[in-house]
Amino acid sequence: MEDVRIIELFWERSQEAIAQTKTKYGRLIYSICMRILRIAEDAFECENDTYLKAWDSMPPQRPDHLSAYLGRIARNLSLDRYEKEHAQKRGGAQIPLVLDELEECIPGMSGDGLPLELKDLLNRFLESQSERARLLFLRRYWFGDSVKEIAEQYNLGESLVKMTLLRSRNALRALLEQEGVSI
């Protein structure tokens, strides 16, 4: 089913909206939650919470890109849950590492939404990157993949992934400084 029709089902308050969303985007939502939470039961709960939050937010929201909208909801819910469960950093998880890496270039980086100006800058930055650099950046900082997972997925060396991410962060920091965003 097309996204436009699924959104219409939400606006009509039809239960079919949830079923169609789960059919089309369930695997994507679950994978985002699982990458952050690393526990199947928690990821499943966040997936279901995503459907509820989508139900509660449409209307009034009418997203342009349903997959991105659902992904953002799933990611934010998962990060909130992760933060709650891991108030004290416990070793081994990727999320504290990812947020620490981004804190170097994005002021006040957190699991919550960024100011609109910063979102626009980040989108411009990503558009200016090569396809590989953009994919690696998103896999690391949106999906929370480890460097090792990214290297295996794209058949690259871990050192190349680390260097590409470092160069991307440096380029992002330079863009933010150029645009007058205080770091």
> For the chain, which residues make up each domain, given as ranges?
3-85, 95-178
**How confident is the model at residue 124, as a pLDDT?**
86
**How confident is the model at residue 178, as a pLDDT?**
85
d(CA 82, CA 89): 10
Round the average pLDDT of the chain to a whole number and report it.
84
d(CA 21, CA 35): 20
Task: Give the mean model confidence (pLDDT) for residues 110-136.
Answer: 77
User: Which pLDDT band, with edges at 50, 70 and 90, does 173 fall under?
Assistant: confident
**How confident is the model at residue 139, as a pLDDT?**
87
d(CA 83, CA 144): 14
What pLDDT, in 10s, does the model give residues 58-109? 999 999 999 999 999 999 999 888 877 765 444 445 556 666 666 666 655 4
The lowest-confidence range among 7-16, 40-49, 91-100, 154-163 is 91-100
CATH code of the domain made up of 95-178: 1.10.10.10
pTM for the model stands at 0.60
Task: Tell me the residue type at 90.
Answer: R
Cα of first residue to Cα of last residue in the chain, in angstroms, is: 44
- What crossing angle do the helices spanning 116-128 and 131-141 adopt, rounded to 10°? 140
Percent of the chain with pLDDT over 90: 55
Cβ-based neighbours of 165, under 8 Å, separated by 6 or more = 101, 136, 137, 140, 147
In CATH terms, the fold of domain 3-85 is Rna Polymerase Sigma Factor; Chain: A (1.10.1740)
